[in-house]
Amino acid sequence: MAAPMLELKGVRTAYGNIEALKGVDLDIREGEIIALLGANGAGKTTTLCSITGLVPPKSGSIVFDGQDIRGARTESLVRKGLIMVPEGRRIFPGLTVLENLKMGAYLISDKRAISQDLEYIFNLFPILATRSRQSGGTLSGGEQQMLAISRSLMGHPRMLLLDEPSLGLAPIVIRNIFDIIRKINRENGTTILLVEQNANLALMLAHRAYIMTTGLITLSGTASEFLNDESVRKAYLGG
Amino acid sequence: MNFFLDLFMSGLTKGSIYALIALGYTMVYGIIALINFAHGEIYMIGAFTALLASMVLGSLGLSGWGLLLSVAAIAAVYSAMYGWTVERVAYKPLRGSSRLAPLISAIGMSIFLQNYVQLAQSPNFLVFPDLVPQIDFLAPVARYISRTQLVILLFTVFSMVGLTVFIKFTKMGMAMRAVAQDQTMARLAGVNIDKVISATFVIGSILAALGGVLIGCSMRQISFYIGFIAGMKAFTAAVLGGIGSIPGAVVGALILGFAESFAAGYVSSSYKDVVAFIILIIILIFRPEGIMGQAQTQKV
- The amino acid at B158: F
- Taking the Cβ of residue A41 and every Cβ of chain B, the question of whether any pair is shorter than 8 Å is answered with no
Asked if A151 lies within 8 A of B189 by C-beta distance, the reply is yes
pLDDT in tens, A70-110: 989 999 999 999 999 999 999 999 999 999 999 999 999 99
> Which among B2, B1, B10 is positioned nearest to B263, based on CA atoms?
B10
Q: How many helices (H) and strands (E) does chain B have?
A: 11, 2
Whole-Å CA distances, A95 to A91, B169, B294: 8, 12, 15
Query: What angle in degrees, to the nearest 10, is found between the helix axes of B193-219 and B39-59?
Result: 60
- Taking the Cβ of residue A81 and every Cβ of chain B, the question of whether any pair is shorter than 8 Å is answered with no
The pLDDT of residue B297 is 55
Task: Tally Cβ neighbours within 10 Å of residue B142.
Answer: 10
Residue of A nearest to B186 (CA): A103
Asked if A95 lies within 8 A of B174 by C-beta distance, the reply is yes
Alpha-carbon distance B156 to B42, whole Å?
A: 17
Q: Which residues are paired to A21 by β-bridges?
A: A13
pLDDT in tens, A9-48: 999 999 989 999 999 999 999 999 999 998 888 999 999 9
> Which among B283, B222, B296, B190 is positioned nearest to B55, based on CA atoms?
B222
B134 secondary structure, DSSP code: P
Please check whether residue B265 is in contact with residue B3, taking contact to mean a CB–CB distance below 8 angstroms: yes
Comparing A226 with B116, which gets the higher pLDDT? B116
Residue A1 pLDDT grade (very low, low, confident, very high; cuts 50, 70, 90): low
> Which among B35, B253, B299, B82 is positioned nearest to B159, based on CA atoms?
B253
Nearest-neighbour CA in chain A from B109: distance (Å): 29
Alpha-carbon distance B266 to B253, whole Å?
A: 20
Alpha-carbon distance B183 to B173, whole Å?
A: 14
pLDDT in tens, B8-61: 999 999 999 999 999 999 999 999 999 999 999 999 999 999 999 999 999 999
Q: Please tell me which of the candidates A79, A84, A103 has its beta carbon nearest to residue B178.
A: A103
Span A112-139, average pLDDT: 95
Alpha-carbon distance A192 to B53, whole Å?
A: 59
The pLDDT of residue B148 is 94
SS3 A159: strand
Give the global pTM: 0.92
> Is the pLDDT assigned to residue B77 strictly greater than 60?
yes
**B232-245 as b/e, with b when 16 or more CB fall inside 10 Å?**
ebbbbbbbbbbbbb
Measured in whole angstroms, the distance separating CA A12 from the mean position of its chain's CA atoms is 20
Span A216-226, average pLDDT: 92
Asked if B174 lies within 8 A of A103 by C-beta distance, the reply is yes
Residue B274 pLDDT grade (very low, low, confident, very high; cuts 50, 70, 90): confident
> Which among B280, B279, B241, B295 is positioned nearest to B23, based on CA atoms?
B241
Please check whether residue A25 is in contact with residue A3, taking contact to mean a CB–CB distance below 8 angstroms: no
- Interface A–B counts its CB contacts (< 8 A) at 58
- Angle A30-A36-A68 (CA atoms, 0-180°, nearest 5)? 50
Task: Tally Cβ neighbours within 10 Å of residue A164.
Answer: 20
Pairing of β A191-195 and β A208-213: unpaired
- List, as one string, the DSSP characters of B181-247: H-HHHHHHTT--HHHHHHHHHHHHHHHHHHHHHHHHHHHSEE-TTHHHHHHHHHHHHHHHH-TT-HH
Alpha-carbon distance B51 to A226, whole Å?
A: 76
The pLDDT of residue B299 is 45
pLDDT in tens, B224-245: 999 998 999 999 999 999 998 9
Query: What angle in degrees, to the nearest 10, is found between the helix axes of B100-120 and B226-241?
Result: 150
Comparing A22 with A227, which gets the higher pLDDT? A22
ipTM above 0.85, yes or no: yes
Q: Please tell me which of the candidates A73, A84, A94 has its beta carbon nearest to residue B177.
A: A94
Q: How many helices (H) and strands (E) does chain A have?
A: 10, 10
Asked if B181 lies within 8 A of A94 by C-beta distance, the reply is yes
Comparing A215 with A235, which gets the higher pLDDT? A215
Phi, psi (degrees; rounded to nearest 5) at B239: -70, -40
Please check whether residue A41 is in contact with residue A15, taking contact to mean a CB–CB distance below 8 angstroms: no
> Is the pLDDT assigned to residue B116 strictly greater than 80?
yes
- The amino acid at A82: L
> Is the pLDDT assigned to residue A237 strictly greater than 70?
no
Please check whether residue A79 is in contact with residue A106, taking contact to mean a CB–CB distance below 8 angstroms: no
Asked if A92 lies within 8 A of B178 by C-beta distance, the reply is yes
Measured in whole angstroms, the distance separating CA B165 from the mean position of its chain's CA atoms is 18
- List, as one string, the DSSP characters of B130-199: --PPP-GGGGGGTTT--HHHHHHHHHHHHHHHHHHHHHHHSHHHHHHHHHHH-HHHHHHTT--HHHHHHH
C-alpha radius of gyration, chain B, whole number: 19
Residue A2 pLDDT grade (very low, low, confident, very high; cuts 50, 70, 90): confident
Element (H, E) at A195: strand A191-195
Element (H, E) at B127: strand B126-127
Q: Please tell me which of the candidates B171, B174, B182 has its beta carbon nearest to residue A90.
A: B182
Residue B295 pLDDT grade (very low, low, confident, very high; cuts 50, 70, 90): low
Residue B296 pLDDT grade (very low, low, confident, very high; cuts 50, 70, 90): low
Residue B249 pLDDT grade (very low, low, confident, very high; cuts 50, 70, 90): very high
The pLDDT of residue B300 is 44
Alpha-carbon distance B38 to B25, whole Å?
A: 10
Element (H, E) at B5: helix B2-32
Asked if A103 lies within 8 A of B175 by C-beta distance, the reply is yes
> Which among A220, A185, A228, A229 is positioned nearest to A35, based on CA atoms?
A220
> Is the pLDDT assigned to residue A57 strictly greater than 60?
yes
Asked if B184 lies within 8 A of A107 by C-beta distance, the reply is no
Alpha-carbon distance B260 to B232, whole Å?
A: 14
- Residue spans per domain, chain A: 6-236
pLDDT in tens, A144-187: 999 999 999 999 999 999 999 999 899 999 999 999 999 999 99
> Is the pLDDT assigned to residue B152 strictly greater than 70?
yes
Please check whether residue B77 is in contact with residue B53, taking contact to mean a CB–CB distance below 8 angstroms: no
Chain B residues touching residue A73 (CB < 8 angstroms): 192
Element (H, E) at B88: none
pLDDT in tens, A61-72: 999 999 999 989
Domain A6-236 fold is: Rossmann fold (3.40.50)
Please check whether residue A13 is in contact with residue A55, taking contact to mean a CB–CB distance below 8 angstroms: yes
A55 secondary structure, DSSP code: S
The pLDDT of residue B292 is 87
The pLDDT of residue B136 is 84
Nearest-neighbour CA in chain B from A62: distance (Å): 18
- Angle A199-A202-A203 (CA atoms, 0-180°, nearest 5)? 85
> Which among B236, B242, B238, B234 is positioned nearest to B214, based on CA atoms?
B234
Please check whether residue B166 is in contact with residue B206, taking contact to mean a CB–CB distance below 8 angstroms: no
The pLDDT of residue A62 is 97
- Taking the Cβ of residue A78 and every Cβ of chain B, the question of whether any pair is shorter than 8 Å is answered with yes
Mean pLDDT lowest among A175-179, A186-190, B284-288: B284-288
